[in-house]
Chain A
Amino acid sequence: MPFDSHQPEHDQGQASMVNADAAPAKFVLSELELGLPGDLQHLAEQLSDDALHLSSLYPPRASQTWHASALQADVDSPAGSKEATKSLSLLWIKRGLVAASLIVAATLAWQAVPKGASPENTPAVPTLTNSTPSPEAVVVDTTELLSEETTIAFHPAADQPADSSRVIGNVQTEQTMVPAGLFITLSGPEQEAMLDLIEDAKIQQPSVSF
């Protein structure tokens, strides 16, 4: 039971319920309209006594002498004013708008890039299994056209991984290859036409999806 400030010194080791006879009579509640039973009535009185006792033990400290001017200064300070809150909100809204416009601009710029320039946009790109150049890659010896030491490695699917034999699941696909001897004998327009055909052929490559 709660402390009883009226307990004798020798009896304070054991807290005890304040019985009806010993209940302090300094505060009597008019709880009759509630029809409280006797024990609840005593609890109510004990609550009042405890509140008074606690407030006498722990009064507001002297350092808490409050002045309206100090409070008002606190309220009027930029951190506490409504204008400050409003300007802070506006600042965040502006930041949000700038961030959103940057995101939109970046998205538009990304979409404006030609699809062919991105490796991801190459049709039917299988899983890259080997990054080393394929032995089947066509090496065109252009010594007759260029300098003596220069060699140009030509791969018909230059923007694809060099492995000509890819494994997609259990399906293997063969990449279209052009014999080098045939290619160098072609004229310029013919070479371009051949390259176009190769690109068309790439689109028709089989693909398997799971």
Chain B
Amino acid sequence: MGLLDIQETIDTYFGRIHRAALVLTGNPWDADDLAQETFVVLTRQSERFEGRSSVYTWLYGIMLNLERRERRRQGTHRSKLRVLWADDPIREQTAPPAETPIEVAQWKRSLWGFVAQLPDGQRQALVLRFSEHLSYEEIAEVLECPLGTVKSRIFNGLAGLRTLLDSSGSDLRLAPEHPYEDVTHAV
């Protein structure tokens, strides 16, 4: 299987990829799917790994691409549903729309819930830096951009995050005792 030992790679990096997927998606179910899909891609494309980069930077690159694609797909799907349901006031009053993403309250209350509102580049840079603790060089490698761009994205991302927090007030709720029992819908 080329340069990679798939089983060893899974054992070593599944937890890290899952954590990054969790802070990006906001719920453990989507995080599971995203992490699994990342390793499926790894297995299918392992022969493409040439050893020029670290395995985990390569994995993060796969995961971020998958996440961006899924996010775009969901965005398109939601916008279509919004158009379809625009004239349905009853449904709006009785239940959250079906296109509403499920997010766990803990995530929504955390800073990562706010990070999700940032542009893609800043969001990914913040995840790689502050959740995964990658170096700037590694982040530049994953995002395939210059080092200066990485620093700029991180700085602007943090500044944007502060602005979001300032404008949001303090309507954040208490975390549930059992994490899987509390599922909230993003508004």
Q: A interface vs B, CB < 8 Å?
A: 1-3, 12-17, 29, 34, 36, 39-40, 43-44, 46-48, 50-51, 53-55, 57-61, 64, 66-69, 71-72, 74-75, 80
Contacts and interface: CB of A to CB of B under 8 A. Distances in A.
A157 B165 CA distance: 86
Contacts of B111: 2, 43, 46-47, 50
A51 B155 CA distance: 18
Nearest to A81: B44
Residues of B contacting A: mostly = helix
B40 A74 contact: yes
A51 B170 contact: no
Given A40-B162, A61-B32, A66 B39 contact: yes
Interface string B3-34: 00111001000110011001100001001100
Interface stretch (B54-62, B86-94, B171-179): B171-179
Contacts, number: 125
A74 B6 CA distance: 13
Please provide the 8 A-B residue pairs with the shortest distance between their CB atoms, ordered closest to farther: A51-B131, A68-B7, A15-B172, A68-B6, A47-B130, A58-B28, A50-B110, A55-B19
Contacts of B133: 48
B115 interface: yes
